[in-house]
Structure 1
Amino acid sequence: MSTVAPRFRSHAEDILDALRENPDREALVHGHRRVTAGEFHDLVHRTAWAMQGQGIERGQTVTLLSGNLPEAIAVRYAAHLIGAQVNHLYTGLSADVQAAIVHDVETRALVVDPRLADRAAAIVEAVPVKSVLALGPSATADDLLALAATRTTDPFPGQAGPDDICAIRHTGGTTGHPKGICTTYRQVREQRKAGRAGAIETDAARQLVATTIAHAAGMLADGVLESGGTVVMLDDFDPADVLTTVERERITHLWLLPPLLYQLLDHPAMGHTDTSTLRQVLYGGCQSSPARIADAVRRLGPVLVQGYGQNEGGLISVLTPADHDPDDPERLRTAGRILDGVEVEIRDEDGSALPDGEHGEICVRSAMVMQGYWKQPELTASVLRNGWLRTGDIGFRDAEGYLTVVDRLKDMIVVVGGHVYTTELEDLLNSHPDVRQCAVFGVRDEDGMERVHAAVLLAPGATTDSDELRALVRAERGAMYVPARITFPDELPLTDVGKPDKKELRRRATTPTT
């Protein structure tokens, strides 16, 4: 009997096996292009051989600068076959920040979407990169697709080890220099397993990707491709385009951050779009409004699922469709039940575990927790100890095992008399019938004290003013929660992944008007 352990297989190999099983099925749709599973399978293997031919090896970093393209997903899988680590830049970051990331992760090859050639040139001018490859014809880079076309479709043997770094995902850069979160190939497998166990289904799905594949949409696409489904890709989020595509492509699965879901609900075309094919609308990534989620359930039916997690810690809890009772706002305010295999402790400032119902920092331990921050051992040690991750989120667990996230530590506003939890105030403001969406944030005054600010989007034609909203807050939450300033912008600034950009809101609040 052999005692040799079986070779580790990465998630990319599993996906490619599934693509080979039914090569004629439609796997990816982008614009007018429809790519079969067999075509995509062959493209990945050709690309892996071509990248190896360019000297890219296991353990090196491949950085992607690309919008939503099937070829970008193919490059990621090809790099994973080689055992390389992939860093996918958010395209909305400044050139300086992108260049700093490219340098920080020791990029061996920069793979560029031709639509972003000018930005790539600016990055390479600031940070020399050994190989610059383009996903199509380019005057300044080698055409990776042309190189791949000359290569064999023979399977490229997977070279990744379970504890090799698979991905370096950076925070969005809204709170300072982005941190590189390192996830191993083994941890990616655990994350995928947890998603399936947590009722995040992908079977026979037609998933619409309307946000960047550098974020959660890309990871969800992996599960859809492995389970025999189809990924339909849009370049950007536009509510009209999303609704049109849902109806035309008979979309069954959709992932959105809450602010984008609200834009969908508020669009004039929502009322006459056929959304009956939707089986799962997954949301998460930032706090949601119970009032708006209840509205979504009433309009879309029992298809909503909330996933709470972090790149650092993987998936932590899930609020299932059965939990989405539009008449139970307290349940909608939670992030769902903690997943099997995930340990959660709510800890005080001294690190002691708190009982159910008490507010404290959410700390987690599971097989999904990151390896650490790229080349930042001190920062890693400050958040990771004995396998436990300090999430930086404030929350509590109730007696039924539901987890509620109250705020981010960095967003909690310290005022005279106590703490203002921004999500609690956002929930209250969002409950007003004239409020479509809002963001609450702290701004320091000349004396260094934090003041509560709120940016509020009103429904068209609404006449509600700041005095009325302040009166609501005073009556429901008390004087401590009353915003010192309320503004009514035409739209809220969002980060590249679709979260309210509170850093930008603070900048606007502190920039003198002329």
Structure 2
Amino acid sequence: MSTEAQIFPTYVTENLDALERDPGHDAFLHQGRRVTAGEFRALVYRMARALRDQGIDRGQTVTLLSRNLPETVAARYAANLIGCRVNELYGGLSAESQAAIVRDVETRALIVDPRCAERAAEITELAPVPAVLVLGPTQLGTDLLELAAGHSAEPLRSLARAEDVCTIRHTGGTTGHPKGICSTFGQSRGLRAMHPPEPVERRQLVCTTLAHAAGLLADATLGAGGTVVLLDDFDPAAVLATVERERITDLFLLPPLLYQLLDHPDLARTDTSSLRTLVYGGCQSSPARIAEAVRVFGPVLLQIYGQNEAGGISVLTPADHDPGRPDRLRSAGKLLPGVEVAIRDERGRDLPAGEHGEVCIRSAGIMKGYWKQPELTAEVLRDGWVHTGDLGFLDAEGYLTLVDRLKDMIVVVGGHVYTSELEELLTSHPQVRQSAVFGVRDADRRERVHAAVVPEPGSGIDGQLLCGLVRAELGAMYEPAAVTFVDALPLTDAGKPDKKLLRRQAERALGAA
């Protein structure tokens, strides 16, 4: 290989080397278009040179505004190869929130999917950037693909250092100052411990945004010499058809999307036998529905628990997915190698097995800090430990179970209501497909339990029946003050139940009453 000795072997350089071993195989499939490993690798090197030719260099920020495209991944690799930090915007945010992020991370270049050109014009009107580069011809900015075509595809030495910021990922951002979580190039290599390459062909279906966990799993697939099949959005019928047609082996879904697959009428006539690993995570799941998924798909489910702040934390393996063990399905599994956990009370004292407290993590994968928020960094990252904001406990066998987010736990007269515990009970009812529990303050500023429930079509179930179930199983303290029936739960751009939106809707309803 003619490339010069690399300063630091980043995930990009490792994957580019892996792609070189079989340049003729399909690295990406998207809308009937096939991109070979050799073509993708060449595009990364051409793009990297084009970016440098535009004056973009190590230590600067490149922001991506895109749906799922092979060229989006190539742009991320190219920017990281020359030592830039990359920020990817979630599509579900408003133009104002996206512009605030673009401005905050000191964006040097905004790289845009042509399908997002209109939104990019809104963003740059609010937050001008030095360079707007588009992944194809449009009236907006400069065509990055055209620029790249004029450059060499010869290997290019990485400019990144282990301690440089590789990515800035934002959480929140709908109100106030969004949190930008900084991860270094050194940390970015830790994913292989979570999802190591296998000596078998891997065909990964990406049907959620590449800006979230699906992008990390796509990296693992490319590093293993596999193929990434891209869908623009999640649609259960399209996912099922693609699994069968493309013989998908690996799939990642957040639990609400997994439930949509289970409830879709096409499932019964779809061949899903090619699936070897169905990864889920990102939010709490229902043991009853996970048990159903095991019965439908077989012993292929794998739960990963992690945070952008803390990296990968724990895994519940397929062998642990026993439908007869709801307590095990309720857990987030055992810790990944190299991860330490402490369960601590509000005074910072370590708690014994079985007691509930905040989950604190120490590992090589924890974040560098929050972008330009040193006070918040000091609050969350203390003495090398990330305070996750998750409440949970460890059992005697070392399994970690999460019971709630600190911010989601509802404080009521008489104690605390763990939303995940109530959601689990509601979703276990045979006439309930999904549920989301959240706290709403009344006129007296007291917090009340509210539940949004997706019923089985035509079930006729009512709120009174569910409240009676809650009283009988969990006690009056857990009984919802209101149960709202909806056709579907609103989801964030990442695919999690949007409890902020549900809370605002409930507050408006109370204000109008």
Q: TM-score range by the shorter chain?
A: over 0.9
Q: Alpha carbons of 1:310 and 1:44: their partners in 2 closer, same or farther (altered >3 Å)?
A: same
**Equivalent in the alignment of 1:462:** 459
Amino acid corresponding to residue 59 of structure 1 in structure 2 = G
2:192, 2:220 within 8 Å by CA — same for their partners in 1?
A: no
Amino acid corresponding to residue 137 of structure 1 in structure 2 = P
Moved more, 166-175 or 58-67: 166-175
| Residues 1:34 and 2:31 are matched in the alignment | no
Q: Alpha carbons of 1:457 and 1:373: their partners in 2 closer, same or farther (altered >3 Å)?
A: same
C-alpha deviation, 1:202, in angstroms: 8.7
Partner SS for 2:43: helix
C-alpha deviation, 1:177, in angstroms: 3.7
Q: Report the Cα distance in structure 1 between the residues aligned to 2:447 and 2:328, rounded to whole angstroms.
A: 31
| Residues 1:228 and 2:225 are matched in the alignment | yes
Counterparts of 1:57-206 in structure 2, within 5 Å, are: 57-173=57-173, 176-190=176-190, 192-196=191-195, 203-206=200-203
C-alpha deviation, 1:226, in angstroms: 0.9
2:6, 2:158 within 8 Å by CA — same for their partners in 1?
A: no
Amino acid corresponding to residue 154 of structure 2 in structure 1 = D
Q: Report the Cα distance in structure 2 between the residues aligned to 1:39 and 1:437, rounded to whole angstroms.
A: 43
Counterparts of 1:33-432 in structure 2, within 5 Å, are: 33-173=33-173, 176-190=176-190, 192-196=191-195, 203-432=200-429
1:208, 1:255 within 8 Å by CA — same for their partners in 2?
A: yes
Q: Identify which of 440, 445, 449 aligns with 2:442.
A: 445
Q: Report the Cα distance in structure 2 between the residues aligned to 1:172 and 1:222, rounded to whole angstroms.
A: 24
Deviations, residues 365-408 of structure 1 (Å, cap 9, x unaligned):
00000000000000000011111000000000000000000000
Q: Report the Cα distance in structure 2 between the residues aligned to 1:32 and 1:8, rounded to whole angstroms.
A: 36
C-alpha deviation, 1:176, in angstroms: 4.9
C-alpha deviation, 1:178, in angstroms: 2.3
Partner SS for 2:195: helix
**Equivalent in the alignment of 2:479:** 482
Amino acid corresponding to residue 194 of structure 2 in structure 1 = G
Moved more, 371-380 or 337-346: 337-346
Q: Report the Cα distance in structure 1 between the residues aligned to 2:175 and 2:293, rounded to whole angstroms.
A: 30
C-alpha deviation, 1:156, in angstroms: 1.5
Deviations, residues 270-292 of structure 1 (Å, cap 9, x unaligned):
11100000000000000000000
1:393, 1:407 within 8 Å by CA — same for their partners in 2?
A: yes
Q: Report the Cα distance in structure 1 between the residues aligned to 2:195 and 2:133, rounded to whole angstroms.
A: 35
Q: Report the Cα distance in structure 2 between the residues aligned to 1:176 and 1:315, rounded to whole angstroms.
A: 27
Amino acid corresponding to residue 58 of structure 2 in structure 1 = R
| Unpaired stretches in structure 2, ≥5 consecutive residues | none
Partner SS for 1:430: helix
Amino acid corresponding to residue 500 of structure 1 in structure 2 = P
Amino acid corresponding to residue 33 of structure 2 in structure 1 = R
Deviations, residues 100-127 of structure 1 (Å, cap 9, x unaligned):
0000000000000110111000110011
1:204, 1:224 within 8 Å by CA — same for their partners in 2?
A: no
Amino acid corresponding to residue 194 of structure 1 in structure 2 = A
Q: Report the Cα distance in structure 2 between the residues aligned to 1:8 and 1:241, rounded to whole angstroms.
A: 40
1:203, 1:224 within 8 Å by CA — same for their partners in 2?
A: no
C-alpha deviation, 1:196, in angstroms: 3.5
C-alpha deviation, 1:6, in angstroms: 7.5
Q: Report the Cα distance in structure 1 between the residues aligned to 2:460 and 2:173, rounded to whole angstroms.
A: 35
Q: Alpha carbons of 1:399 and 1:175: their partners in 2 closer, same or farther (altered >3 Å)?
A: farther
2:7, 2:159 within 8 Å by CA — same for their partners in 1?
A: no
Q: Report the Cα distance in structure 2 between the residues aligned to 1:70 and 1:31, rounded to whole angstroms.
A: 11
Runs of 4+ in 1 over 4 A off after TM superposition: 200-203
**Equivalent in the alignment of 1:510:** 507
C-alpha deviation, 1:9, in angstroms: 1.4
1:85, 1:168 within 8 Å by CA — same for their partners in 2?
A: yes
Q: Report the Cα distance in structure 2 between the residues aligned to 1:298 and 1:174, rounded to whole angstroms.
A: 38
Amino acid corresponding to residue 158 of structure 2 in structure 1 = G
- Identical-residue share of aligned pairs (%): 67
Partner SS for 2:189: helix
Q: Report the Cα distance in structure 2 between the residues aligned to 1:6 and 1:251, rounded to whole angstroms.
A: 34
C-alpha deviation, 1:203, in angstroms: 4.9
Q: Report the Cα distance in structure 2 between the residues aligned to 1:418 and 1:349, rounded to whole angstroms.
A: 16
Amino acid corresponding to residue 42 of structure 1 in structure 2 = A
TM-score by length of 1: 0.97
- RMSD across aligned C-alpha pairs, in angstroms? 1.3
C-alpha deviation, 1:194, in angstroms: 2.3
Q: Alpha carbons of 1:201 and 1:426: their partners in 2 closer, same or farther (altered >3 Å)?
A: farther
Amino acid corresponding to residue 196 of structure 1 in structure 2 = H
**Equivalent in the alignment of 1:500:** 497
**Equivalent in the alignment of 2:9:** 9
C-alpha deviation, 1:491, in angstroms: 1.0
Deviations, residues 291-339 of structure 1 (Å, cap 9, x unaligned):
0000000000000000001000001000000000011101000000112
Amino acid corresponding to residue 169 of structure 2 in structure 1 = R
Deviations, residues 152-195 of structure 1 (Å, cap 9, x unaligned):
111111000000000000014367542100000001112x2321
C-alpha deviation, 1:128, in angstroms: 1.0
Amino acid corresponding to residue 82 of structure 1 in structure 2 = I
Q: Report the Cα distance in structure 1 between the residues aligned to 2:152 and 2:436, rounded to whole angstroms.
A: 52
Amino acid corresponding to residue 38 of structure 1 in structure 2 = G
TM-score by length of 2: 0.97
Moved more, 203-212 or 424-433: 203-212
2:194, 2:336 within 8 Å by CA — same for their partners in 1?
A: no
C-alpha deviation, 1:8, in angstroms: 1.3
Partner SS for 1:454: strand
Partner SS for 2:389: strand
Q: Report the Cα distance in structure 1 between the residues aligned to 2:125 and 2:26, rounded to whole angstroms.
A: 40
Q: Report the Cα distance in structure 2 between the residues aligned to 1:407 and 1:138, rounded to whole angstroms.
A: 46
Q: Alpha carbons of 1:94 and 1:218: their partners in 2 closer, same or farther (altered >3 Å)?
A: same
